């Protein structure tokens, strides 16, 4: 299992609208690629929120091959669309992890 993690820190002025957009548009569009089997949206706690809240989105891909399809066919377009919609009102970073062990 591969976890594609995106962490977003949003400007306080867009935080509420960003969260709605994320839940109603971004997540469904990411899932519609067929590359991911599930996701989790989390709000980070015990961090400085004075410059806006920080959220983490974790998308699970069943294999590295499924993740690679996302990278090859979809990632650049998603990144362009996010910047077109929100400009510089957020900061994000991405990481990719392999699940070694988990409890369900």
What are the structure tokens assigned to 100, written together?
């070694």
Of the candidates 36, 17, 9, 30, which has an alpha carbon nearest to the alpha carbon of residue 81?
A: 30
For residue 4, give the nearest of 103, 93, 86 by alpha carbon.
93
- pTM for the model: 0.90
For the domain bounded by 2-98, which CATH number is listed?
A: 3.30.70.100
Cβ 6 vs Cβ 91: under 8 Å? no
Query: What strand order describes the sheet that includes 2-10?
Result: 38-43, 54-61, 2-10, 90-98
**pLDDT tens, position by position, 71-99:** 999 999 999 999 999 988 898 999 999 99
Q: Within a 13 Å sphere around the CA of 29, how many CA atoms are in the beta-carbon half?
A: 13
């Amino acid at each position: 299992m591969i976890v594609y993690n995106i962490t977003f820190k949003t400007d306080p002025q867009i935080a509420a609208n960003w969260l709605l957009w994320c839940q109603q548009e971004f997540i469904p569009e990411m899932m519609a690629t067929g590359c991911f089997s599930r996701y989790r949206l989390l709000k980070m706690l015990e961090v400085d929120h004075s410059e806006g809240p920080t959220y983490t989105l974790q998308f699970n891909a069943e294999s590295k091959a499924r993740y690679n399809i996302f990278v090859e066919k979809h990632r650049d377009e998603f990144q362009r669309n996010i910047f077109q919609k929100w400009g510089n009102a957020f900061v994000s970073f991405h990481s990719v992890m392999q699940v070694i062990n988990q409890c369900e």
